[in-house]
Structure 1
Amino acid sequence: MERKVVERLVSWKNKPQRMPLVIYGARQVGKTYTALTFGKNHYKNTVYFNMEGSSEIASIFERDLNPERIIKELSVKSGQTIFKDDTLIIFDEIQACERALTSLKYFCENEPDYHIIAAGSLLSVALNREKYSFPVGKVDMMNLYPLDFEEFLWATGHKDMCELIKESYEHFTPLSLHETAMDLYKTYLVVGGMPRAVIEYVDTQDFNFVVAAQKMLNDAYIADMAKYASPQETTKIMAAWASVPAQLAKENHKFQYKVIKSGARAYEYETPLDWLRTAGMINKCIRITEGKMPLSAYADNSSFKVYMMDTGLLCSKFDIAANVIMNGPANFNGFKGALAENYIMQALVTNGFTPYYWSSPGKAELDFVFQDRQGNIIPLEGKSADNVRAKSLKNYISLYQPPYAIRVSAKNFGFENGLRSIPLYALSCLKRI
């Protein structure tokens, strides 16, 4: 399964001042698979250690943190000679061994020629819970997300479609295969980008198998809550997680604590929401009061929206049948907009943006505002269909006069009067990283 992050891994490998790399992200987004595949394709040999499943490996780090001794013992344990520059060392589930995490500092300072990738599910959660010290400034960091739409097309055998979409995006000319691309986008909404679900779809072409995989993933996340939180915290985290689809189903998607349970208060659920965000399971979009630089200075942290990290998991939690997404009956139009909005948020975050939403004292509310690669503050209006009337976008443009604006919808490419019309399927082309 081809991932875009490999380009960044190659850049990391070739850096003259390379530090150990920590890959983090939600559980089962493909961290281990990506690291192992990268090792296979770019190194003479790879040695893999799972820190969660072996007390013997953990004990190697207990005596001291001398990199030379650690490498010798890891070589014996793996049965392979570990060479500088030619061997990739992978520490998986590194959050299970604090001493291994701390050792990265000493590898950085004393033995930088060893190539080390550490991967961790719920790494940030474990660090917060156990009060581990993190080797700040001594490691490179890389966040891995579920497959985006372009990676999904690669996995499902539609690379040629990717190239056509890129050509249309670069020149903002209509895509002749627009309807075909929209159908693929709808398929992605159902399947999502979790590797397990994508593999099931590729192997079976049966959405029932996809849903079964998604429900197993959801069960695994719930099990993690119990593992990395106290019983009282777990109850609140599960309640907050369960409420996300209902939050999106509201006409106004602003997060409301009362949706979790009647009488719920912010102080009760701020920590559970932070747990979910830190675990990579949700994306948080905070309101800004002004479309000015820097956006963070105008953030109203008490007003925010919460999106799931993956549209497939969202559809699964809602029990939305695939044919409903693909055929779009009229009675589904209300939630179709929320699903498209979740997809847009997911795409923006994956491509390196920090999106906010804007609302005026009146009724105007704009879906997303972000800073582009050139530092411009750009408004984005999202539509699930080809009805593109956007009163709030016009209000924002009138107030702040951005260099350009973006409308993401089911319409084909276009560019007129400073408004870039981008089809939903082409959002992966919009990059900040």
Structure 2
Amino acid sequence: MDLKRKSEKLIREWLKNSPKKALLVKGARQVGKTHAIRRVLTAEHADFFEINLIETPAAVDVLAAAQTVDDLVLGFSALSTQKLEKGKTIIFIDEVQKYKEMITKIKFLVEEGSFRYVLSGSLLGVELTNLDSAPVGYMTTVEMFPLDFEEFLQITNIDDNIISSLRSSFENRTPVMDAVNQKMLDLFTRYLIVGGMPEAVSNFADNSNLNDVMRIHRDILSQYKLDFTQYETEDKRLLLTNAYELIPAELLKQNRRYIVTDLKKGLHFERVQSTFLWLKNAGVALSVFNSTEPRIPLKLNEKSSLFKLYFADVGMLTSEYGMNTKSMLLTKNQNLNAGGIYENAIAQELYSKGFLLYYYNSNRLGELDFVIEYNNRASPIEVKSGKDYTIHSAMNNCLANSEYQMQEGFVFANCNVSQKGKVTYLPTYMVMFLQKDSEQIVLDKIEF
């Protein structure tokens, strides 16, 4: 199935509105970057030349040998199997992490102006940390993630009218028709099982075979582990692999916190901090740091040595747990410890929308699964997988604390929409409607 992505809108906006900037599309391996770029350029009838630096390693030698901008332009012409037309052709360089210096050189190519440029690659969050000079002002960046739940719905019979009605229920805090709500909850369960990796979603849409989904997830996991060995020194390889493989076990704990000593007894966070940063920057894991106070700005109270780690894709997480876990999710087996799975899905959804995620823990007030900045306030979030979703003492305590100035807390559960005091209960799928606050600030003109 040919999947549409929200990021295509951003790519299209760049194509139409930013002729003096290059485009960089980044994201973890296999999230659909190349496909999205091709879809937009083809749909807009753009003249483009695509070169993959992994499939064509000789291209790296050609680009690296270039001493001037003219050399680079000549190099592209030599590599191309088609005529490159100045002022018209778009040059699409895929797997650009194989020659990361290209991102520095793009500034000079944009200034030269013969062609427009699209760059794409994985592990750029890792590679760019060592880059000498980033082309500030010369590049638009789009980050891609696995399909979110709303994107996942395109493989179902849920149309835009239903989505619009659900959004209205979210905005007005009114219940959804029971039959529709149950249908959406069931679809969200399927999302937990399949996840948002495009190949897995497309395969499931065509075949509905979970064995194929698990095989695809295993293949992607193998690629991740290969990246660990390919891009890091030998002493870090085993640590990266072990740190990543430990995430599913840590999410089975009651508080989901990642404990460094579970990797190796006596290990200190400071010695392995770069390992967790690598996993985050590579886009294969999501980090949620502790905030010592649930008040804005949350970043000011960040304690990075205390954290949770989630998989970047919830479907890959449930595949790690195995087919039995997926079956228990489908049959709503109450014996399943599903809290970490639901938390992973909520974290994944919020992260893709640009939220900075934190959690809060206090001996006096209790622990909040997540705290986000929403409507210019700190908003607590609890994720419940069972029937006792109305029990949330930590949220009650924090909402009642006038120092934190919280206006609303969200409980995501297998329920319908309702409100009680400052607590809003939402079905899990409605996380797709939470949107990050706009960062645009308009100042009034100051008269002198």
For Structure 1 versus Structure 2, the TM-score category normalised by the shorter chain is over 0.9
Structure 1 counterpart of 2:39, from 32, 37, 40: 37
1: CA distance, partners of 2:163 / 2:397: 34
Q: Secondary structure at the match of 1:24?
A: strand
1: CA distance, partners of 2:170 / 2:80: 48
Deviation at 1:175, TM superposition (A): 2.0
Q: Which letter maps to 2:131?
A: Y
Change (3 A) 1:199 1:83: same
Q: Name the residue aligned to 2:445.
A: none
1: CA distance, partners of 2:116 / 2:416: 45
Matched, 1:431 2:405: no
In the TM superposition, 1:124-273 aligns within 5 A as 124-128=125-129, 131-137=130-136, 138-160=138-160, 161-176=162-177, 177-273=180-276
Q: Name the residue aligned to 1:102.
A: 104
* 8 Å contact kept, 2:380–2:395: yes
In the TM superposition, 1:117-128 aligns within 5 A as 117-128=118-129
For each residue in 1:235-265, what CA deviation from the matched residue of structure 2 results, as whole angstroms up to 9, or x when unmatched? Answer: 0001101110111111121111122233333
Q: Name the residue aligned to 2:446.
A: none
- The farther-off stretch of 90-99 and 234-243 is 90-99
2: CA distance, partners of 1:345 / 1:178: 21
1: CA distance, partners of 2:79 / 2:19: 29
Deviation at 1:351, TM superposition (A): 0.8
Q: Name the residue aligned to 2:360.
A: 358
Q: Which letter maps to 1:279?
A: A
Q: Name the residue aligned to 1:403.
A: 407
Q: Name the residue aligned to 1:385.
A: 386
Change (3 A) 1:98 1:366: closer
Q: Secondary structure at the match of 2:410?
A: strand
Q: Secondary structure at the match of 2:258?
A: coil
Change (3 A) 1:85 1:294: farther
2: CA distance, partners of 1:72 / 1:421: 60
Q: Name the residue aligned to 1:26.
A: 28
Deviation at 1:7, TM superposition (A): 1.6
Deviation at 1:407, TM superposition (A): 1.8
1: CA distance, partners of 2:254 / 2:232: 32
2: CA distance, partners of 1:191 / 1:84: 44
4+ residue runs over 6 A deviation: none
Deviation at 1:303, TM superposition (A): 1.1
For each residue in 1:173-218, what CA deviation from the matched residue of structure 2 results, as whole angstroms up to 9, or x when unmatched? Answer: 2222111111100000010001111122112101111111111111
Structure 1 counterpart of 2:330, from 299, 308, 326: 326
Q: Name the residue aligned to 2:8.
A: 6
Change (3 A) 1:343 1:6: same
In the TM superposition, 1:237-316 aligns within 5 A as 237-316=240-319
For each residue in 1:137-157, what CA deviation from the matched residue of structure 2 results, as whole angstroms up to 9, or x when unmatched? Answer: 132222110000111111344
Deviation at 1:83, TM superposition (A): 4.3
- The farther-off stretch of 374-383 and 348-357 is 374-383
* 8 Å contact kept, 1:104–1:135: no
Q: Secondary structure at the match of 1:407?
A: strand
Q: Secondary structure at the match of 2:363?
A: coil
- The farther-off stretch of 336-345 and 155-164 is 155-164
Deviation at 1:42, TM superposition (A): 2.0
Q: Secondary structure at the match of 1:100?
A: helix
Deviation at 1:57, TM superposition (A): 2.0
* 8 Å contact kept, 2:106–2:135: no
Deviation at 1:68, TM superposition (A): 5.1
Q: Secondary structure at the match of 2:51?
A: strand
Deviation at 1:73, TM superposition (A): 4.1
Deviation at 1:67, TM superposition (A): 4.3
Deviation at 1:361, TM superposition (A): 3.3
Change (3 A) 1:66 1:37: farther
* 8 Å contact kept, 2:110–2:116: no
Change (3 A) 1:56 1:325: same
- TM-score, with length taken from structure 1: 0.92
* 8 Å contact kept, 1:240–1:269: no
Q: Which letter maps to 1:299?
A: E
Q: Name the residue aligned to 1:47.
A: 49
- Aligned positions, number: 427
Q: Name the residue aligned to 1:347.
A: 349
Deviation at 1:390, TM superposition (A): 1.2
User: Percent identity of the aligned residues?
Assistant: 27
- TM-score, with length taken from structure 2: 0.89
Structure 2: which 5+ runs fail to align? 439-448
Deviation at 1:115, TM superposition (A): 2.9
Change (3 A) 1:326 1:134: farther
2: CA distance, partners of 1:136 / 1:248: 39
* 8 Å contact kept, 2:314–2:344: yes
Q: Which letter maps to 2:431?
A: L
Q: Name the residue aligned to 1:90.
A: 92
* 8 Å contact kept, 2:192–2:314: yes
* 8 Å contact kept, 1:43–1:86: no
1: CA distance, partners of 2:306 / 2:330: 33
Q: Name the residue aligned to 1:60.
A: 62
Q: Provide the alpha-carbon RMSD of the alignment.
A: 2.1
